[in-house]
Structure 1
């Protein structure tokens, strides 16, 4: 098994220390950072995402694998920057106003980062004004509105309406998600995408920015 395949397997296993050590070994062997990322780390996290979508692994597994991926990317980040490797796009995510739940949102952020996106996490309890400021500041490709309560779902619609009133709606794609959120609800409030889980959210965002 090649060292890049070993890196992939360690990411799949969620072995944080092992992944970091193997990435450092790959660097010492002279393997370039882009290859380590694209042929070692990315195949591993992509496989985890596929297994998560098939309910073969669960949130704790994904969190460990994403941490193994992201902490290892930090090792090669200086080399990636020097080689001109840039994020494929930018996503702004948050849990909407009135909602303090963040496990799902945090997982989405980890998976998006692992997919090559720059992620701006606005945190919890985020209203339209914070999203508007972030869109004007960061010019993201997509924004994610997370709501974990039926009582906060309506805030997703209010944020989309506020973007329309500010003339910003056409500048970004709006993704919505959370336990009570459905495709029917996304259609009703005018969102561009409903994603059922973190892997689906990262996949949709990546496909959009790559193909837009």
Structure 2
């Protein structure tokens, strides 16, 4: 019997000490890793809606996000094992001035499970650091830039254009709540993804591996 509903409840209520065992139990009874991940993403969507409506506040949201990340850790090993061969290296980071990492971490997991070797630059990443990472790592085929704040849209533009100036042929994908396909095109990105699931599909498409 599926344990996915149990996982969803634990994420929404921020039970980070119980979530890992619940995710493992769901896997043990035959729930697919992707289905569990989708359920946790849906739960965080509910948490986000409650936050937007003023029903919960930042502490509750952070507690739920922590529970989600604990659950993701369990899935990561399972989903990374699904990749048969590497598609190349992807550099990813949240742009300068932005400290959001939950979405970025989710995208990293999705891309890893799709076969990319991921290099996580973390948050508040200046444009030059993306360029430096491309130089320092082997077989980089994609740069992924995340921006979750409207105020950091200029930093997203700078990151894309700095990478493109130094590496004109490098593929760049962008995403984040305020980002649109139109804006991605305007700043010179090769692709845009509205969520972690579509990021994996789009990333493979951009590098010609889909």
TM-score by length of 1: 0.62
| Counterpart residue number, 2:142 | 141
Deviations 1:62-103 (A, max 9, x none): 64444323313434656x38x93349984501222xx3x41x
Q: What corresponds to 1:189 in structure 2?
A: 187
Paired residue for 2:121?
A: 121
Say which of 102, 111, 114 aligns to 2:106: 111
- Over 3 Å counting, the alpha-carbon distance change for 1:160 and 1:114 in structure 2 is closer
- Partner of residue 34, structure 2: 38
Q: Equivalents in 2 of 1:208, 1:31: separation in Å?
A: 31
1:208 paired to 2:202? yes
Partner of 1:156: 156
Instruction: Give the paired residue count.
Output: 191
Which residue number in structure 2 is paired with residue 166 of structure 1?
Answer: 166
* Distance in 2 (alpha carbons) for counterparts of 1:175 and 1:2: 35
Runs of at least 5 residues in structure 1 that lack an aligned partner in the other structure: none
1:175-206 Cα deviation digits (max 9, x unpaired): 15576x666544432234566xxxx3424413
1:11–1:65 contact (8 Å) kept in structure 2: yes
Q: Which structure would you say has the larger RCO, counting Cα contacts within 8 Å and 6 or more residues apart?
A: 1
TM-score, normalised via structure 2 length: 0.63
2:8 pairs with 1:14: no
* Alpha-carbon offset, residue 45 of structure 1: 1.8
CA gap of 1:130–1:7, structure 2 versus 1, over 3 A, is: same
Instruction: Say what the alpha-carbon RMSD is for the aligned residues.
Output: 4.1
Distance 1:14 1:95 in 2: 27
